[in-house]
Structure 1
């Protein structure tokens, strides 16, 4: 393989499979992902620069190079003009909640720095790929519940008394700010995009790694840490996204957006290929049949549930349909989200419903 712009090219990354207690076989058997272990897999980390679980390149001249090294060696070519940083800021996963996830939360940026000694917290979004009829998720604290009432319910493991239970439907997405208590499953398949972090606080009497019990002393410490970082205010909701037609049988749907990440789902038939121009690194994950990806003068076959990282310097991609793919990225909100949606006729209120789009991102602000 020869390099594209600036010597970079579509990058295949190593994916970490995690055998947590709530997992199953849906990532392989339903999505069709190959190359993962034949045991219950809860998560595959498709693009990760988390400390200790960072991806490496598996194809081309840069094979074996850690993602973090690419960030430091090629910051603008990888991430976009004017960008600087010492790690890749977006994490993506497939999650198989064949069982139910533990009730847990991830600190927001402030709490992560104050209590965890981390550079950032973990706001995330879930895009529902498949869900059984009647599937639900817990997300956010019910209105009027006090901190004392929340703690008492957590200690009793009476989650429905204090947390909001929401219906879950395939194709919808929910933006979950840091500090929001949550859980989903069973029988739910999710694509998750989030800040690069693995911090979390749990409120369960069992360990998510193997289901073993948590003793009383550790449980009390866990609840105290949970309460220290919880936010009572966020009440996220599932949204269908904002669709935009792009051509004959092609289109994109904006699923979520914030300063931390954005996620879009694109589709194409056979009348014309999907064409997408971009100015920031794109995490391209295939959630449909195998496709041919053309970018930077190169062509790659992208199989089911496979992921490519497209460096910003490549600038545009063409995908031959039929296609059903996700693009995750660190956005310039005004350029990448607000401008195309405003041009398509969406209001600021509708755009804001995708997650967190500050007023400063509005055109002319």
Structure 2
């Protein structure tokens, strides 16, 4: 039940930093994020309700409350009228692939429930913030590869024999349905949005936590489970998104959208501020210079690589330019994506399909 009269304001949450073997220093040194440890950091979980790594409100009347508690106690103020759920449904991260990520996949919803005992799977999308010239990613199984060929190649660690290698360019986005084997890096910096989950199956002979070897028995079990969850037909591609002008020097770009999440990038100059109205919670992440954020009577500065969670009850936000920010959210596709695209004079979304999963851009 929602507590009456709480009047939720924008929320700042604690961030979980992950020191994994493929990480580096780009989140702090390229993005300018403060308050993270001064060693190789692979990921920062910006807005998380994953069990054991959930965010905690750092200031205001709800300081000390977990995101899970806020979601349960103020569900419709946070998520919008008619929404109900047991946890916040969207997870966002910065990922620094200074090295190469392990080849892995995440279960889709059906496999997560059937094989992992989890309520949902983990479809995700990567928005490329920076990448070295010639950077590539592995994503999806090549057409015509059989399960037997895939397994043999994974056992031999010959990933290019069976997986698609794609060029990576800053500013593009890749929607990765659950069940799609993938990897990216080195020297690639991304913002990731996904379903709230931490399930994954690896095909590596080393552990990403510390690089220690995985013994033959465990490796075989890992590959067994990966093969039970893999989608051989999922072959997504990068897209530049669809941009529309929404003001004098203000651009809104729809990077990806699906029933699981949507991601937009907004840029504004100084002619007029960025103004955005919304009816569901928005994860606002600053990927540019420090900005001033206003919502109703609330106003604060948001530094580089910092994140705010804007509850649905706020309804609108104004950001003084110059600004370069991301908005991630759980969409009503007709209201939040197709309608604004139609109003801007373009088609109401272009669907990209992969075995029943849809990214709309």
TM-score w.r.t. the length of structure 1 is 0.95
Rounded Cα–Cα distance in structure 2 between residues aligned with 1:210 and 1:296: 46
- CA contact 2:352–2:358 (8 Å) conserved in 1: no
Rounded Cα–Cα distance in structure 1 between residues aligned with 2:137 and 2:353: 18
Q: Which digits, 9 at most, give the CA deviation of each residue in 1:314-336, with x for residues without a partner?
A: 00000000000000000000000
SS at structure 2 position matched to 1:210: coil
CA change 1:60–1:13 in 2 (3 A) is same
Number of matched pairs: 355
Report the CA distance between 1:341 and its aligned residue.
Answer: 1.2
Which runs of at least 4 in structure 1 moved beyond 3 Å after TM superposition?
353-359
- Aligned-residue CA RMSD (Å): 1.5
Aligned to 2:51: 51
Q: Which digits, 9 at most, give the CA deviation of each residue in 1:117-166, with x for residues without a partner?
A: 00000000000000000000000000000111100000000000000000
Report the CA distance between 1:358 and its aligned residue.
Answer: 6.6
Aligned to 1:352: 351
Aligned to 1:11: 11
Aligned to 2:257: 257
Aligned to 1:137: 137
- CA contact 1:291–1:302 (8 Å) conserved in 2: yes
List aligned pairs for 1:181-330, cutoff 5 A: 181-330=181-330
Aligned to 1:116: 116
Aligned to 2:88: 88
- CA contact 1:241–1:354 (8 Å) conserved in 2: no
TM-score w.r.t. the length of structure 2 is 0.96
Q: Which digits, 9 at most, give the CA deviation of each residue in 1:274-330, with x for residues without a partner?
A: 000000000000000000000021101000000000000000000000000000000
List aligned pairs for 1:333-344, cutoff 5 A: 333-344=333-344
Rounded Cα–Cα distance in structure 2 between residues aligned with 1:354 and 1:327: 23
Report the CA distance between 1:106 and its aligned residue.
Answer: 0.2
Rounded Cα–Cα distance in structure 1 between residues aligned with 2:357 and 2:217: 41
Rounded Cα–Cα distance in structure 2 between residues aligned with 1:51 and 1:169: 33
Aligned to 1:159: 159
SS at structure 2 position matched to 1:68: helix
Rounded Cα–Cα distance in structure 1 between residues aligned with 2:237 and 2:127: 12
SS at structure 1 position matched to 2:165: strand
Rounded Cα–Cα distance in structure 1 between residues aligned with 2:353 and 2:45: 23
Rounded Cα–Cα distance in structure 1 between residues aligned with 2:170 and 2:22: 19
Q: Which residues of structure 2 form unaligned runs of 5+?
A: none
- CA contact 2:153–2:162 (8 Å) conserved in 1: yes
CA change 1:143–1:119 in 2 (3 A) is same
Report the CA distance between 1:357 and its aligned residue.
Answer: 8.2
Rounded Cα–Cα distance in structure 2 between residues aligned with 1:300 and 1:235: 42
Rounded Cα–Cα distance in structure 2 between residues aligned with 1:202 and 1:326: 29
Per mean C-alpha deviation after superposition, the further-off stretch among 146-155 and 339-348 is 339-348
Rounded Cα–Cα distance in structure 2 between residues aligned with 1:290 and 1:187: 25
Rounded Cα–Cα distance in structure 2 between residues aligned with 1:296 and 1:226: 48
SS at structure 1 position matched to 2:192: strand
Rounded Cα–Cα distance in structure 2 between residues aligned with 1:63 and 1:357: 37
- CA contact 1:257–1:357 (8 Å) conserved in 2: no
CA change 1:276–1:357 in 2 (3 A) is farther
Report the CA distance between 1:351 and its aligned residue.
Answer: 2.2
- CA contact 2:7–2:313 (8 Å) conserved in 1: no
Rounded Cα–Cα distance in structure 2 between residues aligned with 1:87 and 1:334: 24
CA change 1:207–1:357 in 2 (3 A) is closer
SS at structure 2 position matched to 1:140: strand
